[in-house]
Structure 1
Amino acid sequence: AQTATPELPEGVALLRAVRAARHPGYDRLVFEFEGSAPQIDVRYVDQVVEDPTGDPVPLRGEEFLSVVFHGATLDTTPQVLDSRQARRYTGPQRLAPGYPVLKEVAVAGDFESVLSFGVGLEYRSEPQVRRLTAPVRLVIDFPHRTPPTHS
């Protein structure tokens, strides 16, 4: 007998996957969610800190990006009455692809429906953020530096 997958609580996005890929000219980071699309805040920081403790999150790289999803979680236990109905992200908490720009990604917090990640980069790259649907994905592309051209 198959058991039905519990429904997600209203207004909550559950992280399903984090993927990184290297492409010609850019590195890509993809966060895939189930449920509603969370709001995203992406910004450079001097140091990534864990939410809510404030402890530093060690990351490879020279530049650091904070990626915060509002209305997202790794675990729906706090949002459900019966913990047997909870759903959880079961993937890695840290990825270290070591690409030209994208060096490392790590969970930096999951507190009160605010899910945060730290991203370690080799150098400051202008992140290009896009939302995709079916499934809900937030894609961040990090363009590679273009070598200087001499005339």
Structure 2
Amino acid sequence: MRRWGTALAAMVLAGGALAATAGAAGAVTPAAAKSAAKAAACETGWGSGEKTAQPAGHTPLGSIRTGRHACYDRMVFDVKGATAADRVGYRVAYVDTLYQDGSGEEIPVGGGAILDIHVAAPSYDPGTGGESYPGRARKPLPGVDVTGYQTFRDTRFGASFEGETQVGLGVRARLPFRVFQTDGRVVVDVAHSWNAVR
């Protein structure tokens, strides 16, 4: 009888452990699902080839700013007075060396790869000649600090020449990037990797 009681107690304990394990597994499932959702693949099919858009005019550049996102680092060119209907031209491509527009002088840019960014928005007002953006050739972009960014490593103002502003963006490696315009802004996103996850 004592053996039967011991066996019964062992079965009860085993059943309780099994139920606790099942309960724990059930509790982990939503967290696992949330973790899986967070680890969803980032969009990286942008490629690393040149991206261009033809301008409709040359509206002055107002500011340049950057931000960090889950899948990419972002640079935004704010174009004064431009709206979603105004086409702001751009040309963005990887280069081995950044050469300043106009002078052809080499501008050193830190990082494993360099994006040469041209935006059809001069750093001055074409009507008055007054400065609209305080960039200085060969210097880091004013007010932009990319310390701690996952992809961005360095920024350099190239020039404002013939209605375009040139910026050198140093990135960790030759990574996929996209460029688009949205309501008076030209946006450059550079992915954290070719197979990034959030």
Q: Which band: TM-score by shorter chain?
A: 0.7 to 0.9
In the alignment, which residue of structure 2 is the partner of 1:32? Answer: 78
Number of matched pairs: 131
Q: Tell me, what secondary structure is at the counterpart of 1:64? A: strand
Matched AA of 1:54: G
Q: Does 1:137 align with 2:185?
A: yes
Q: Deviations over 1:109-151 (max 9, x none)?
A: 1112121111101111111112100xx0011111112479xxx
Kindly indicate whether the alpha-carbon contact (under 8 Å) linking 2:71 and 2:196 is maintained by their aligned counterparts in 1. Answer: no
In the alignment, which residue of structure 1 is the partner of 2:119? Answer: 69
After superposition, the Cα gap between the structure-2 partners of 1:35 and 1:90, relative to the gap in structure 1 and judged at 3 Å, is same
Q: What is the alpha-carbon distance in structure 2 between the residues aligned to residue 91 and residue 50 of structure 1? A: 13
Identity of aligned residues (%): 26
- Stretches of structure 2 that go unaligned for 5 or more consecutive residues are 1-55
In the alignment, which residue of structure 2 is the partner of 1:20? Answer: 66
After superposition, the Cα gap between the structure-2 partners of 1:90 and 1:109, relative to the gap in structure 1 and judged at 3 Å, is closer
- Rg larger in structure: 2
After superposition, the Cα gap between the structure-2 partners of 1:147 and 1:25, relative to the gap in structure 1 and judged at 3 Å, is closer
Following superposition, the deviation at residue 25 of structure 1 comes to 1.8
Q: TM-score, normalization: structure 1?
A: 0.76
Q: What is the alpha-carbon distance in structure 2 between the residues aligned to residue 34 and residue 106 of structure 1? A: 21
Following superposition, the deviation at residue 87 of structure 1 comes to 4.8
In the alignment, which residue of structure 2 is the partner of 1:118? Answer: 168
Kindly indicate whether the alpha-carbon contact (under 8 Å) linking 2:135 and 2:157 is maintained by their aligned counterparts in 1. Answer: no
Q: Deviations over 1:70-108 (max 9, x none)?
A: 3x21112xx33x65xx35224685234031111122211
Q: What is the alpha-carbon distance in structure 1 between the residues aligned to residue 165 and residue 64 of structure 2? A: 13
Q: TM-score, normalization: structure 2?
A: 0.59
Q: Tell me, what secondary structure is at the counterpart of 1:116? A: strand
In the alignment, which residue of structure 2 is the partner of 1:6? Answer: none
Q: What is the alpha-carbon distance in structure 2 between the residues aligned to residue 75 and residue 58 of structure 1? A: 24
Kindly indicate whether the alpha-carbon contact (under 8 Å) linking 1:12 and 1:35 is maintained by their aligned counterparts in 2. Answer: no
Q: What is the alpha-carbon distance in structure 2 between the residues aligned to residue 56 and residue 140 of structure 1? A: 23
After superposition, the Cα gap between the structure-2 partners of 1:122 and 1:88, relative to the gap in structure 1 and judged at 3 Å, is same
- Stretches of structure 1 that go unaligned for 5 or more consecutive residues are 1-9
Q: What is the alpha-carbon distance in structure 1 between the residues aligned to residue 104 and residue 135 of structure 2? A: 24
In the alignment, which residue of structure 2 is the partner of 1:88? Answer: 132
Richer in helix (by share): 2
Kindly indicate whether the alpha-carbon contact (under 8 Å) linking 1:96 and 1:103 is maintained by their aligned counterparts in 2. Answer: no
In the alignment, which residue of structure 1 is the partner of 2:99? Answer: 49
Following superposition, the deviation at residue 59 of structure 1 comes to 1.3
